[in-house]
């Protein structure tokens, strides 16, 4: 009997961790896939960025590349060659759900990679259990769930390949490493910075030739994308290099890096203000704060993106919830596993107790911070309106697809979308355009009349005369009397378009679809609207009219 019990115990030690991790991963993937899909189904996603990547993938699948959702070529936006991987799904009728499933699969593969890494490098009989726990800690990290809330981004998709590449390098599975490193590089040029640092780490660890090759190759890829590809496919090169960093630091990533190296005082000031400290805290608190710092070489992989995020002039880059934190999450997760392995290696007595204690502490901090800052069921922010969950709906209802309190406005939106012919040129408000993006010409309202988030600097604007349909949710526009000038302009523009150029074909619950019935003509516009119209309009011959706050605006022909 004792032999049987020992056999069962040994089998539990071997297979129990995989079973626990498998069940947790399956539940996490199912819940977050359903919640993400719910955002799309109930019109809570945005054209920026889901509509951009959905149209980009559809265009590449059909041999095109200019995104009217963004006013840029796909490869003038980012080096997102990985979108070609999803093109076959779009040939088969796939769409946004394909992107969501791909990202969640990648994130789950990242959990598997962390389990394998822990299993292979932690010198303890509990290595498999530790790996299971550390993989769960990674999935519980608040950033992991928020990345699904964002729905899809190529840099979030890079998480799985990056973690698998690290595990392969750590265990000298080099063919697997090169495959995953190539996939990661194809996701976005930012990934090259982290891979270059991984190359440096490999050099320090004794893999001089391979490490140097990774560092040089990743740096070369970054230069190719930012200095050759983006300038070739867009008017101004890498748009974010001109708009993300303080102008006094330079106009390129490398110029900024050199400036910060020459002026460490400036670097310290930029990276240590109150907002930055909150960002750091929410990245490392889920892994017990200090533990990743025991393995600074692995943590180094995330340093480039952390620096970029905190010195940016845009506050959204230093927010743990958004895709800019994907690569820092990779580094923090890897450093946590390496730190537990290091502690186990340096413990001669009670190694299993130390390993179990560290992993247990990490699971506790992960659960606490998931509740405080996460977005899944059990988190404080779960019911705060981020997910489009109706009153009284439980997570069981969400998973079953039960919607007892169906929203009449959502039904109106679905009916409105059916009234827009496939392939027609259309402009739509930001909650509708990710549902209409499988076409060559889909604009986010008020484009192309009022250039908004178009191109690098509103260059190469499209002629509004080519727009055949409007799909507008009036709730997002305000009214002509709204205090916000942008809303005033949009409401005034819509009123003009519906007065003669377009005829309403659907109007219900504040959602309208209108079809073009006449060519653009001169119209009297307020000074604010006249000043915001794009390059396809000019002030007519009666520029100064009564009252003096209005002008005659005519399309350029």
Give me the DSSP letters along 469-510: EEEEEGGGT--TT-SSHHHHHHHHHHHHIIIIIEEEEEEETT
203 and 309 co-located in one domain: yes
220 and 336 co-located in one domain: yes
Length of the chain: 557
150 and 232 co-located in one domain: yes
Structure tokens at 127: 């290595």
pLDDT (0 to 100) of residue 274: 64
Please name the residue ranges forming H helices in 263-407: 264-271, 274-284, 296-299, 303-311, 326-345, 351-373, 395-400
199 and 323 co-located in one domain: yes
Within a domain: residue 298? yes
Q: Could you list the pLDDT tens digit for every one of the 557 residues in the chain?
A: 565 546 556 665 678 999 999 999 999 999 999 999 999 999 999 998 899 999 999 999 999 999 999 999 999 999 999 999 999 999 998 899 999 999 999 999 999 999 999 999 999 999 999 999 999 999 999 999 999 999 999 999 999 999 999 999 999 999 999 999 999 999 999 999 999 999 999 999 999 999 999 999 999 999 999 999 999 998 887 777 777 777 777 777 777 778 888 888 877 887 877 667 899 999 999 999 889 999 999 999 999 999 888 888 888 899 999 999 999 999 999 999 999 999 999 887 888 999 999 999 999 999 999 999 999 999 999 999 899 987 777 777 677 776 656 688 899 999 999 999 999 999 999 999 999 999 999 999 999 999 999 998 888 899 999 999 999 999 888 655 556 788 889 999 999 999 999 999 999 999 999 999 999 989 989 888 998 999 999 887 654 444 557 888 999 87
136 and 188 co-located in one domain: yes
Within a domain: residue 9? no
483 and 360 co-located in one domain: no
pLDDT (0 to 100) of residue 6: 60
Within a domain: residue 397? no
pLDDT (0 to 100) of residue 481: 58
What Rg do the C-alpha atoms of the chain give, in angstroms?
26
359 and 458 co-located in one domain: no
414 and 355 co-located in one domain: no
Within a domain: residue 470? yes
361 and 437 co-located in one domain: no
Question: What is the per-residue pLDDT across 436-491, written as a single tens digit (0 to 9) for each?
Answer: 999 999 999 999 999 999 998 888 899 999 999 999 999 888 655 556 788 889 99
How many domains does one find in the chain?
2
Within a domain: residue 302? yes
103 and 231 co-located in one domain: yes
Name the residue range of residue 424's domain.
Answer: 408-521
pLDDT (0 to 100) of residue 13: 60
362 and 414 co-located in one domain: no
Within a domain: residue 403? no
pLDDT (0 to 100) of residue 544: 47
Phi-psi region of 392 (alpha: psi -120 to 50; beta: other; left: phi over 0): left
pLDDT (0 to 100) of residue 1: 54
pLDDT (0 to 100) of residue 545: 47
Within a domain: residue 374? no
Is this prediction's pTM over 0.75? yes
Within a domain: residue 539? no
178 and 284 co-located in one domain: yes
């Amino acid at each position: 009997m004792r032999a049987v019990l020992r056999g069962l115990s040994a089998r539990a030690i071997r297979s129990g961790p995989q079973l626990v991790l498998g069940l947790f991963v399956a539940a996490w993937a199912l819940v977050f896939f359903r919640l993400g899909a719910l955002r799309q189904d109930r019109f809570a996603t945005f054209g920026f960025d889901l509509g951009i990547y959905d149209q980009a993938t559809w265009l590449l699948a059909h041999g095109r590349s200019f995104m009217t959702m963004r006013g840029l070529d796909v490869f003038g936006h980012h080096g997102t060659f990985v979108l070609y991987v999803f093109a076959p799904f779009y040939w088969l009728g796939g769409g946004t759900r394909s992107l969501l499933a791909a990202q969640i699969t990648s994130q789950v593969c990242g959990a598997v990679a962390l389990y394998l890494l822990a299993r292979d490098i932690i010198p303890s009989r509990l290595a498999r259990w530790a790996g299971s726990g550390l993989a769960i800690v990674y999935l519980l990290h608040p950033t992991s769930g928020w990345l699904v809330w964002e729905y899809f981004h190529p840099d979030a998709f890079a998480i799985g390949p990056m973690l698998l590449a690290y595990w392969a390098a750590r265990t000298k599975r080099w063919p697997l490493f090169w495959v995953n490193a190539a996939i990661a590089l194809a996701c976005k040029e930012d990934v090259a910075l982290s891979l270059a640092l991984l190359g440096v780490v490999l050099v320090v660890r004794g893999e001089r030739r391979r490490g140097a090759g990774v560092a040089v190759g990743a740096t070369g890829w970054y230069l190719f994308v930012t200095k050759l590809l983006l300038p070739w496919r867009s008017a101004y090169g890498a748009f974010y290099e001109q708009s993300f960093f303080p102008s006094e630091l330079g106009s390129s990533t490398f110029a900024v890096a050199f400036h910060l190296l020459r002026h460490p005082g400036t670097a310290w000031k930029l990276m240590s203000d109150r907002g930055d400290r909150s960002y750091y805290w929410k990245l490392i608190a889920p892994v017990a704060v200090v533990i990743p710092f025991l393995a600074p070489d692995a943590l180094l992989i995330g340093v480039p993106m952390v620096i970029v995020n905190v010195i940016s002039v845009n506050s959204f880059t230093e927010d743990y919830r958004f895709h800019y934190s994907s690569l820092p999450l990779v580094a923090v997760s890897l450093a946590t596993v390496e730190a537990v392995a290091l502690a186990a290696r340096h413990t001669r007595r009670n190694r299993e107790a130390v390993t179990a204690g560290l992993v247990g502490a990490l699971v506790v901090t992960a659960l606490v911070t998931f509740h405080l800052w996460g977005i899944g069921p059990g988190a404080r922010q779960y019911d705060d309106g981020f997910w489009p969950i109706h009153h009284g709906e439980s997570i069981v209802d969400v998973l079953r697809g039960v919607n007892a309190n169906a929203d009449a406005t959502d039904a109106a939106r679905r009916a409105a979308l059916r009234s827009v012919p496939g392939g027609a040129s259309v402009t739509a408000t930001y909650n509708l355009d990710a549902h209409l993006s499988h076409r060559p010409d889909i604009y986010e309202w008020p484009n192309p009349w009022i250039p908004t988030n178009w191109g690098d600097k509103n260059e190469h604007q499209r002629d509004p005369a080519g727009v055949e349909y409007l799909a507008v949710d009036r709730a997002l526009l305000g009214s002509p009397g709204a205090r916000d000038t942008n809303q005033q302009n949009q409401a005034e523009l819509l009123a003009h378009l519906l007065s003669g150029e377009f005829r309403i074909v659907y109007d219900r619950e504040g959602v309208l679809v209108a079809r073009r019935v006449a060519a653009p003509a001169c119209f009297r516009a307020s000074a604010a609207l006249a000043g915001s119209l794009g390059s396809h309009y000019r002030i007519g011959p009666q520029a100064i009219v009564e009252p003096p706050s209005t002008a005659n605006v005519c399309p350029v022909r």
